[in-house]
Structure 1
Amino acid sequence: MIALTASMVFLSTETETEALLLETNLIKQLKPRFNVVMRDDKSFPYILVTGDHPAPQITKHRGARTRKGDYYGPFASVWAVNRTLNALERAFLLRSCTDSFYENRTRPCLLYQIKRCSGPCTGEISHEDYAELVKEARGFLSGKSRAVRDMMAAEMAKASEALEFERAARLRDRVAALSAIQGQQGINPRNTEEADVFAIIEQGGQFCIEVFFFRTYQNWGNRAYYPKADRSLSNSEVLEAFLAQFYDGRPPARLVLLSEPIENRALLEEAFQQTFGSRVEIAAPQRGEKRDLVEAALHNAKQTLGQKLAETASQEKLLAAVAEAFGLDCKLRRVEVYDNSHIMGQNAVGAMVVAGAGGFMKMHYRTFNIRGEDLTPGDDFGMMREVLRRRFSRLAKEAPASAAAPQGRAAARSMAQGDAVASDDQDVLDVEDLAPDSADGITPASGTYAGITGPVTSMKERRIAEGPPPPVAAPAAPSEDSEAFPQRPDLILIDGGLGQFNATREILAELGVTDVAVAAIAKGRDRDAGREMFFVEGREPFRLPPRDPALYFVQRLRDEAHRFAIGTHRARRKKDFTKSPLDEIAGIGPARKRALLSAFGTAKALSRAALADLEKVPGINAGTAKLVYDFFHERNG
């Protein structure tokens, strides 16, 4: 490690807590080789009960908490949120529709008919009674689940005694829905209302940390992480570093349970309290129910890591089989698969999926909005050229950029102030829900860090001391971490025939890329799976044996690229379908747009409205009305 050090920079902070926050910030930005780096930084989904509408909506939420309301979570997966929301709708009959859908209803929707909504949109329930349902739901999600269920059971018994059997039946169904929420959870603590449980295990130099979330005496799911860490570090050291990065913008539970005691427990507790404004207890229990929760997490960690190692070994064999089938001498560490999707050139997108020894590397997926003005509609070859030109032009720029990174005092000042990492011009889509993600999986140093919005600037004094590094006998040149996932592909796989293959070779030759192998896969006659034709440089087109594992693996890669491309295309097409002409008018935001559409029904009717009619719309002043009127009449000519 010392031999690889070119220079050292020292930053003095006022307290150990500030030093801990700054250290975590730098690790997340720079991803140094010898530090523990949390690889999966995807945000968790929450349940949101909105607070900006007379009839609050219950929905799932991921990302920044910009909307007014109460957030409950985190949940380990969208599946867990959807399952819980389904039961909550049956238990509390809260609406899940959007505000615009709510405001335009003239009769109850299907959810009311199947008893998953109380119908506040059309007055099927009074505002007072609906507010009571919202209060009960918030109480249940806040940890008063037993009290809410007991209250419902008491009301059910009272209704039955009063011979109000229909009301008693409705309450019975709601109690059953609440019981279903708690019965589906698996591990349910009796005495631990709220806790995050972390269990770590190491095998073969690979670390696995299993995280369980317990809220309102219920298990809200779990997720496994595989942090990148030096093998010389102990489980306790890895777990401590992981905790500091995990609670980046995520408020921790009141109780954090660990499978290993950590050295700086008190320092982390102080940092969390300073950041989030509430006391957090960190403990490594040795007995009792809390230890049982930790043991359950440890058991899951062992199972998950064993499966991960087995899958990695299998994946490496498949990559080696593909290299052999294509006649490649290099070891395949990163395979990039490209595909395009469009309808006669409209909403054209290119997609790149990435695979390696760890399977599909979804955080490296990229999409490209194809915007070439000289492209003929439906020109697949031209689209592929644009996608590859943008991808490899950027890759070529990143190499010298990293070499020219600021050094010494400038670098330290930039890191301390939290300068943002340069963003990618490619559209990055999350694979599960096609939602925007951060470019290249890099978390900027600025922004929300460990719950603090903006860079870490609370230090009263910053002293940066630097000097030339001491001479070493044989300084080694910095080398790429052999275990790090490479940014440059070893193989490009194109979903297409000879034309796509030649287009790819041309653009790579134009960019001077000569060290990347290229292959193309063309669908067989009648598009039958198993009859694909392969194109590889220096060989005649060939087929693989029908039962060859390499064939199945390449088909999976091709199908994943196709799925990702068409999913992105559909999302873009859907967005265009829902686009309104009002979106093009400066000064017309969501509220005014909603008011205008509510008054006139459609954009077509709005375009025919007289200026006097526009001025009568609530919330639209004379200036805005004139702006809308002029826009439509100039447009219609």
Structure 2
Amino acid sequence: MSDSPRADRFSEEQSIHVFKGNDLPDLEKGVAAISNVLKTLPMRPGVYRMYDSKGNVLYVGKARALKNRVANYTQLAGLSRRIQRMVSQTRSMTIVTTTTESEALLLEAQLIKRYRPPYNILLRDDKSFPYILLKEEGSYPEFPSVQRHRGARRSKGTYYGPFASADSVTLTLNSLQKLFLLRSCSDSFFRNRKRPCLLYQIKRCSAPCVGRILPEDYKELVIDARNFLAGKSTDVRQKLVVTMEKAAERQDYELAAVYRDRLRALTFIQNHQAINSDNLRNADIFAIERNAGLVCIQVFFIRNRQNWGHHAYFLNHIEEQSLAAILQSFLGQFYEDMVAPEFILTNCMPQETSLLEEALSSRVGYAVHFHQPKRGDQKKLLDQAVRNAKEAIERRMAEGATQRQLLQEMTTLFELDKTPDRIEVYDNSHIAGTNMVGAMIVAGPEGFRRNAYRKFNIKSQTINPGDDFEMMREVLGRRFSRLERADPDRHSGEWPDLLLIDGGKGQVRAVVDILKEQGIEDVAVVGISKGPDRHAGREHFHLSDGREYALETNSSLIFYLQRLRDEAHRFAIGTHRARRAKNLTSSPLDEVPGIGPSRKKALLLHFGTARDVRNAAPSELEKVAGISSKTAHQIYDFFHSHT
């Protein structure tokens, strides 16, 4: 797959055009700013960005002819109320011209994922998909390992996927272990084994680490695994059957039983992943459905005639948009960092299908075709995706109803002014005052908003180790001072309606005082403490006016509040562990100017420890390869100029 297009592949961005007109109404200001840009726009394909008065990206769009497309925004009578609202906020624009409209489509998708503008259709969940990697490099290339992989493909080997979820990968990996007994351990683990590990005992590895299998026999297993992942499971099955029968004829029943178990594993995975379509080898299937204001896109991955799972997407900012337009925007973002297969099946052809086919084909180097089947096996697969999309919407609606009921109960219990749309939950984590971090998670009517989570490394040097009150003071001070600067008018939706604090009356009073110092008195604060004997289910809830509540142990609301508290605790602990792990591998040499990884490695190999480097004289430092006299004195001065 070719690299995704970057802005430097296209014509230079035009400078941002700002229109000054403070005496005009907002809508007229927006039209005037756009009209000012129109004067310099060419009749060429390209991408435009619209900004508000603070420089935030409002919208990213593409056009075959920029001048004609942007001119439409000045014709207010033909614009929907939503687009009129966007125009009223527009104060400047940036233009990037491209060679073709298909390049503009790819760049548009890239910029939408980067800026996540509020007026574009957005994926809520755009994480990368997992793959299976048959890794062939490393210290033992004669014994390739099989492992799950997510992210950049830097390791040498063969990648199979994408899989829709970690569960899909786990199912396939477990079957691969049972079927082909390939190792899944790291090279360091492999190198240090003196006896087989547990996977060998449960017949999921052939134990090449201790010589229980010859390299040539292991190679045969690798070939079989490749054939299976390439869709040749029938060939693999026939080979296993023949081998099992030969073992039985020799009355080697123990070996025959091993092959019998492997055949069972193959049958299991075939039942779960095989599809009934001989003429569909590699394809993605998209089913888009709309109901009660929700739009769900269900995607199925078909690779090598195997179903490698499915995933449901719910999109933001889809008001007044047709399903065809939504699907086009979705597919542009979806394939921005994914390899498109040759065939894409869908129950609704996307807007500008030919353009989308051209853009995707240019990225992957072969023709990509969209198809809406009307009959046959492909139609049955598409119907299955449609059914899953409808069921996903029904589940989301049911969950939403439950969530709204819980939020309403919370509003009544805590006597809030309104049902909270944004709940922020805070927690701290440290060990004996070291690696102190604060964490904030966000929840709303739709559940957890993980892309809004934030971590705070405690920077103050005056905080006493483990002082939770001062840690919270720094966290909230940084959070709300930054929010006040970015959105003083509270239009962004980033201001919380409720703060949930892990703590009792003291913590709540401290948080209220911290907020008052910043002039914030209209954000509700609730503390959650463990209650008597610190038993889960007996929590007490503390309000800023001194009131205290305890809920029934079987209350749905207490389970919900516990889940919020526990999610904040999980995120704080995870953040703390990551920081602690990073500090364990850090070195004082990392702070020395001019010392990169190569010189750091050379110094540590020569002296053994960073302390010995610190104590070395310049003449001793010069003996290290790559360390000049000037660098040696820089190192010496760095460690001794402050003492």
Superposed pair shares fold, TM > 0.5: yes
- Residue number among 109, 128, 137 corresponding to 2:216 in the alignment: 128
Contact 2:231 2:306 in 1 (8 A): no
> Residues of 1 paired with 2:498 and 2:279: CA distance?
54
Structure 1 segment 456-467 matched on structure 2, within 5 A:
none
Deviations 1:567-594 (A, max 9, x none): 44445556667789999996667x989x
Structure 1 position 550, deviation (Å): 3.4
SS of aligned partner of 1:623: coil
Pick from 551, 564, 569 the counterpart of residue 562 of structure 1.
569
State how far apart, in whole Å, the 2-side matches of 1:114 and 1:579 are: 39
2:102 maps to 1:100: no
Paired position in structure 2 for 1:525: 532
Kindly state the Cα deviation for residue 371 of structure 1 after the two structures are TM-superposed: 4.2
Q: How big is each residue's C-alpha offset from its partner over 1:462-495, in whole Å with a ceiling of 9 and x where there is no partner?
A: xxxxxxxxxxxxxxxxx958xxxx3221111001
Counterpart Cα distance in 2 of 1:182 and 1:577: 45
> What is residue 459 of structure 1 aligned with on the other side?
none
* Cα separation, partners in 2 of 1:157 and 1:531, compared to 1, 3 Å: closer
Offset from partner CA, 1:259-314 (integer Å, 9 cap, x none): 11234222222211211223322211111111111111111111110110121122
Q: Percent identity?
A: 49
Following the alignment from structure 1 to structure 2, what is the Cα–Cα distance between the partners of residues 30 and 146? 47
User: In structure 2, the residue corresponding to 1:394 is in which secondary structure?
Assistant: helix
* Aligned mate of 1:29, from 114, 139, 163: 114
- Residues 153 and 191 of structure 1, relative CA distance in 2, 3 Å threshold: farther
Per the alignment, do residues 577 and 300 of structure 1 end up closer, same or farther by CA in structure 2, a change over 3 Å counting? same
Cα gap change, 1:351 to 1:189, in 2 (>3 Å): farther
Paired amino acid for 2:207: G
Tell me the distance in 2 between the aligned counterparts of 1:495 and 1:208.
Answer: 35
Q: Which amino acid aligns with 1:525?
A: P
Moved more, 161-170 or 307-316: 161-170
1:616 — aligned with what?
A: none
Q: Deviations over 1:101-120 (max 9, x none)?
A: 12222332222222212222
Q: Is the 8 A contact 1:188 1:218 kept in 2?
A: no
1:623 aligns with 2:625: yes
Larger gyration radius, structure 1 or structure 2: 2
The corresponding residue for 2:228 is: 140
Which residue of the other structure, out of 89, 99, 112, is the alignment partner of 1:14? 99
Q: Which moved more, 1:170-179 or 1:309-318?
A: 170-179
Specify the alignment match of 1:388 in structure 2: 476
1:325 aligns with: 413
Is 1:223 the equivalent of 2:311?
yes
Question: How many Å separate the matches in 1 of 2:588 and 2:505?
Answer: 42
Gaps of 5+ in 1: 404-478, 597-602, 608-620
For 1:298 and 1:38, locate their aligned partners in 2 and report how far apart those are by CA, in whole Å.
Answer: 19
Residue 91 in structure 1 maps to residue 179 in structure 2: yes
Which residues of 2 match residues 556-635 of structure 1 at below 5 A?
556-573=563-580, 623=625
With normalisation by structure 2, the TM-score equals: 0.75
How many residue pairs match? The answer is 536
* Distance of 2:558 and 2:85 partners within structure 1: 45
1:70 counterpart = 2:72: no
- How far is the alpha carbon of 1:255 from its aligned partner? 1.8
Structure 1 segment 327-366 matched on structure 2, within 5 A: 327-366=415-454
Shift of 1:70: 1.3
Aligned to 2:515: 508
* Deviation, structure 1 residue 327: 1.7
Q: Which segment is superposed worse, 333-342 or 99-108? A: 99-108
Is the 2:504–2:528 Cα contact (8 Å) retained in structure 1?
yes
In the superposition, relative to structure 1, how do residues 399 and 202 fare at CA in structure 2: closer, same or farther (>3 Å)?
same
1:174-222: CA deviation from partner (whole Å, max 9, x where unpaired): 2322222222348665543222111011011211111111223222111
Aligned partner of 1:399: which letter? D
Q: Which of 234, 239, 242 is 1:154 aligned to?
A: 242
Aligned to 2:375, which of 272, 284, 287?
Answer: 287
- In structure 1, what residue type is equivalent to 2:185? C
- Stretch deviating more after TM superposition (32-41 or 573-582): 573-582
How far apart are the structure 1 equivalents of 2:277 and 2:485?
Answer: 53
Distance 1:313 1:18, change over 3 A: same
In the superposition, the TM-score normalised over structure 1's length comes to 0.75
Alignment match, 1:47? 132
Partner of residue 76, structure 2: none
Return the offset for 1:549.
4.2
Q: Does 1:541 align with 2:548?
A: yes
Following the alignment from structure 2 to structure 1, what is the Cα–Cα distance between the partners of residues 491 and 318? Answer: 14
Match of 2:360 among 272, 275, 286: 272
Whole-Å separation in 1 of the counterparts to 2:203 and 2:485: 57
Look up the equivalent residue of 1:304 and give its one-letter code: A
| Matches of 2:351 and 2:505, distance apart in 1 | 60
Q: Separation in 2 of the partners of 1:14 and 1:587?
A: 41
Give 5+ residue unaligned stretches, structure 2.
Answer: 1-82, 613-622, 629-634
Compared with structure 1, are the counterparts of its residues 343 and 587 closer, same or farther at alpha carbon in structure 2 (3 Å cutoff)?
Answer: same
**1:325, 1:550 within 8 Å by CA — same for their partners in 2?**
no
Matches of 1:539 and 1:76, distance apart in 2:
49
Q: 2:390 aligns with which of 290, 295, 302?
A: 302
What is the Cα-based RMSD across aligned positions, in Å? 3.8
Match of 2:337 among 233, 249, 255: 249
Distance 1:368 1:492 in 2: 16
1:532-574 per-residue CA deviation (whole Å, 9 max, x = no partner) reads 3322223433434556543333222222222333344445556
How far apart, in 1, do the equivalents of 2:563 and 2:215 lie?
53
Deviation at 1:29, TM superposition (A): 3.3
Judged with a 3 Å threshold, the aligned counterparts in structure 2 of structure 1 residues 579 and 181 are, in CA distance, closer, same or farther, namely: farther
Amino acid at match of 1:22: L
Q: CA deviation at 1:141?
A: 1.4
SS at match of 2:487: helix
- Higher relative contact order (Cα pairs below 8 Å, separated by 6+ residues): 1
State which of 54, 68, 82 in structure 1 corresponds to 2:170: 82
CA distance in 1, matches of 2:119, 2:134: 43
Match of 1:416 in 2: none
Q: Deviations over 1:116-164 (max 9, x none)?
A: 1222223322323223322221222122222222223233334444555
SS at match of 1:226: strand
Q: For 2:430, what is the secondary structure of its paired residue?
A: strand
Q: Counterpart of 2:560?
A: 553
Distance, in Å, in 2 between the alignment partners of 1:130 and 1:539 is: 69
Equivalent position SS for 1:125: coil
What CA distance in whole angstroms lies between the structure 1 residues aligned with 2:581 and 2:263? 39
